[in-house]
Structure 1
Amino acid sequence: MPDDSSLSDRAAQAAAQLRAGDALYAQNRLTEALERYRNALPLVREIADRRVEAAVLHNIGRAQYGLGVKHTALEAFSEAAALRREIGDRAGEAESLNNVAIIHIQQGQHAEAIKYLLRSLEIDTELGNRYGEGVALNNIGEIYRALNRYRDALQYYRQSLSIRHEVGDKRGEAATLNNLGELDLDMGLYDDALDHLLRALSVRREVGDKRGEAMTLFNLSRVNRLSGQSAAALEFGEQALVAVREAGDRWLEADILYQLALFLVEMDRIPDAIMTLERSVTLARVIGHVELEAHRAKLEELRARSP
């Protein structure tokens, strides 16, 4: 068993790794941040600081999620949620449960996602954690939008937006504005979508949220595409690719490349679409993207059509 001085050294080393990881995460240097968090994990386990261990696991999940490695992010968030529940860190448990739910939403597992979100919302409401309530309400809105229950989605998004504005959660406020823009797109309300998305883009640039900026830029590409503004749509799409590469989210990059390829097909620019799809398929193969086969099938279809 390590002596007290050895444990003290381990604690200092862990704290240094965590501080470095947090600083790198704030700079969007996610690969480097992940390495620091992974370095910290065995150290905090050695000193048996379970609260910090749970926080490190959660941060590992955040970095992996930002890098598009969602299956391992889900494992990290799930482990963090279980540990936080075990030690009685209810606010932390709710935070990790929310992130578990987000990944389930993106994987189309809505029943699983709503289960985690309702548990998270219940905890945050009991604790009076308005920040957490805003997060959970937004994510419930995401589920209802995915299920085409647009009126319910709008209700939850509006509640979330109000709370996030109230508590000064600018990053969260921008996320909900972006989601409202996506909902407007689903309902064919292009002017409303443009308004919500431009507001979201402004805030995301203000807070330095590169991944969020990429998502909103791509949604602006979609608005212009559906409104018949092809040049503007392509310009926003290219801006989205620049932003997502700066963010380092390879999963989102593969999605954006795929959607841009479909847009190029609509413009009858088949050679450009094939090149874009080739990039998407290559990236999807490297990261184990769940839509790899769909991307590959579309590429083969276009190659067959190409002279």
Structure 2
Amino acid sequence: QSLEDRVRVLWDRSYSAPDSVLQEARQLLQEARAAGSYHAEVNALELQGEAHFYLLDLDSCRHYYQQALGVAQRKEDLEEQAHIHTSLGSIHSEFGERDASLSEFRQALTIWESLQDTVQLCGLEVRIGGALDRFDLDDLSMQHFVHALRHCADCGDSLFYAHALNGIGVLHKKQRNYLKALAVMDSARVIYARQGEAFGQGGVLNNLGVVYKSLGRYEEARRCYEQGLAIFEADGYDRGIMSFAQNLGILENLEGRPDKGLAHCSRALAIANSIPLASTQSEALNEIAKSLLMLDRKAEALDSIDRAIAIAADKQLLEKEQQAWATRSEVLEAMGRPAEALTSLRRHLVLHDSLFTRDKSAEIDRLQTVYETEQREATIAHLEEQARLEQDKRRWLRIGIVAMGISAVVIVLALLQRRRKERQLLRARLELQDTENQRLQEQLDHKRRELTEKALHLAQKNELLRSLEQDIEQLRNSGEGAGVAQLAGKIRFDQQIDQNWDQFTLAFTETRRDFFRQLTDQHPDLTRNELRLAALLSMNLASKEIGSILNISDEGVKKARYRLRKKLGLRTEEGLEPYLAGL
């Protein structure tokens, strides 16, 4: 193969086999320099950078692209320089280096505008819009996506038109304009399907699924996720499979199918472990813990959420860590460990406050960037009309910038002070609430014990009365009077345990203050005996005990339960005791 043929083959394999491409690109570089082939040399350097990118070695990736840029600059190859500036902009974006990323993109934009290459401008505007979206510069991002649509309309590039539509849809989704997001994203999906672009189709299906889920339209979200998953499974794209599996797991948990949620999230975790990708690892472990908790596998849930917290803390993923602490609090509460649950909840709140402060700082930074960008564009336009700015305008501009900086500092300090006071107040309220809850719980437990004792006394009394009735009947039939003394003893014992139903009702009302009011408001046709039966059923007493209290047989209790269910209008799948206990 010629050097040019080898370059094309290596670019085709750069994603699927980065390790072997890296080795072959090094050999290609030596041969290109020996043969004096500029094109092969610059591509060999870019291929090494691309291979390092897919191997997640971003420092080496940036190093080789910068070497390639130097070669292109020495050859004064503007088109190749623009391509490399674009790649470097994407790399800086992956690092989170906003200013460096935007600087590289601007240099590429300047070159393509000077060359009037509309096709290249389409792709570049989409990339810039995506980078600005990641940096939360939504207004500027929208501008570049709209520019991309105009360039695509001029040159007829429908694929990049779909990319721009998808980007606009993502911005609408972030701003919770869900209906607009659905309309724009679905247009992109149709174009991808028509073009046979599987990767773009999978990406937009993922975004559509997220929007449908946010709207509570779970069935439509599921269809999008399952279609996208099938596309990426056919393509063997692990990161896409991981994303869809995780989203399906979250959806299954939301719909109350934790067994399926566990299976999907476990699949996502396995792929995230193989990459490795800490953010998805922590998110998947958090969702797995929720599935296990719903499956009543509490110990496993606690182990999973502890792993999620450890990964998030190690990689300083504050958002994932604070989400995991909230889940840990739920798990510990379900395990009957309220003190530890409260500690976890407090840790979640502390991290939530940290995220709030960080987001506010980022918002101030974002506003300053937008301001600086707008000022830069205004300055360029003004310089085209007038050679020099008047001195007083420059002075007022500097004063304005300084004033904005001072205002920003004052706002940040005020926000920090406010958050500090709110945290102190929250801690005090939590401690007071904890003490009050403990006191009320002790009172409630005591009242419940008293109520149970009263119910059992009523049952015992009615059993005694039934026994007396039988003894009297036997004496009457036998004509003997020998049992009179024993009968009198039973009557005296009955006087010791006797408790009337009004006393029981009073004790029951102390623990379930609104029970009878809610029941009679919702079902005014209930009789006094049916109200008594409802109260006893809400205490989870056995049928035998209820029969003794109400002085009816077990069969009578069953019939009374049936009549009560019918009057309450309960469906077959609704339990009578849970319904009454929930009042």
* Fold shared per TM-score above 0.5: yes
Does the 8 A contact of 2:238 with 2:271 survive in 1?
yes
Letter in 1 for 2:95: R
Counterpart-to-counterpart distance in 2, 1:215 and 1:76: 32
Partner of 1:120: 188
* Residue of structure 1 aligned with 2:361, choices 261, 286, 291: 286
CA deviations 1:160-202 (Å, max 9, x no partner) are: 1111211233322221111101101211222222221121233
Which one of 155, 169, 177 corresponds to residue 87 of structure 1?
A: 155
Confirm whether residue 165 of structure 1 aligns to residue 221 of structure 2: no
**Residue 287 of structure 2 aligns with which residue?**
219
- The 1:244–1:181 alpha-carbon spacing in structure 2 relative to 1, beyond 3 Å, is farther
Q: Compute the RMSD of aligned alpha carbons.
A: 3.5
Aligned twin of 1:21:
89
Structure 2 equivalent of residue 249 of structure 1: none
1:44/1:283 CA distance change after superposition, 3 Å:
same
Q: Cα distance 1:144–1:86, how it changes in 2: closer, same or farther (>3 A)?
A: same
Q: 1:274 to 1:214 in 2, by over 3 A?
A: closer
Amino acid at match of 1:256: K
Q: 1:44 to 1:299 in 2, by over 3 A?
A: farther
> Runs of 5+ in structure 1 lacking a partner?
246-252
Corresponding residue for residue 218 of structure 2: 150
Aligned to 1:268: 342
Judge conservation of contact 1:221–1:233 (CA < 8 Å) in 2.
Answer: yes
Larger Rg, first or second structure (1 or 2): 2
> Is 1:240 equivalent to 2:312 in the alignment?
yes
TM-fit CA distance, 1:141: 2.2
Q: How does 1:50-199 map to 2 (within 5 A)?
A: 50-70=118-138, 72-199=140-267
Query: How much identity, in percent, do the aligned residues show?
Result: 22
Distance 1:168 1:78 in 2: 33
Moved more, 272-281 or 262-271: 262-271
Write the distance in 2 (CA, Å) between the matches of 1:14 and 1:133.
Answer: 28
Structure 1 pair 106–53 and aligned structure 2 pair: CA distance change class (3 A) = same
User: Taking structure 1 as reference, are residues 133 and 12 closer, same or farther at Cα in structure 2, changes over 3 Å only?
Assistant: closer
- Tell me what 2:323 maps to: 259
The structure-2 alpha-carbon separation of the partners of 1:52 and 1:285, relative to structure 1 and needing over 3 Å to count, comes to same
Contact 2:90 2:131 in 1 (8 A): no
Indicate how the Cα distance of structure 1 residues 157 and 22 shifts in structure 2: closer, same or farther if over 3 A, else same.
Answer: same
Aligned-partner Cα distance in 2 for 1:284–1:77: 24
Query: Does the residue aligned with 1:288 lie in a helix, a strand or coil?
Result: helix
Q: Distance in 2 between matches of 1:218 and 1:81?
A: 39
Structure 1: distance between partners of 2:89 and 2:188: 26
Q: Deviations over 1:250-293 (max 9, x none)?
A: xxx4x43553564476521255344323311211111229xxx9
Q: Deviations over 1:219-278 (max 9, x none)?
A: 345545666434532431342354574xxxxxxx4x435535644765212553443233
Q: Distance in 1 between matches of 2:187 and 2:323?
A: 34
Alpha-carbon offset, residue 91 of structure 1: 0.8
State the alpha-carbon separation in 2 of the partners of residues 46 and 89 from structure 1: 20
With structure 2 as the length reference, what TM-score do the two structures score?
Answer: 0.43
Task: Quote the offset at 1:112 in angstroms.
Answer: 0.7
Structure 2 counterpart SS, 1:188:
coil
May I ask how many residue pairs the two structures share in their alignment? 288
Superposed CA deviations along residues 104-151 of structure 1, whole A, max 9, x for unmatched, are 223322101111112111211222223222223332222222222222
Instruction: Note if contact 2:279-2:312 (Cα within 8 Å) is conserved in structure 1.
Output: no
Q: Which stretch of structure 1 is more off in the superposition, 179-188 or 206-215?
A: 206-215
2:316 and 2:104 mapped to 1: Cα distance?
22
CA distance in 2 between counterparts of 1:64 and 1:77 reads 10
CA contact (8 A) 1:124 1:130 kept: yes
Indicate whether 1:203 and 2:271 are aligned: yes
Stretch deviating more after TM superposition (196-205 or 257-266): 257-266
Unaligned runs of 5+ in 2: 1-72, 331-340, 365-414, 432-583
When residues 208 and 273 of structure 1 are mapped into structure 2, their CA distance, relative to the original with a 3 A threshold, is closer
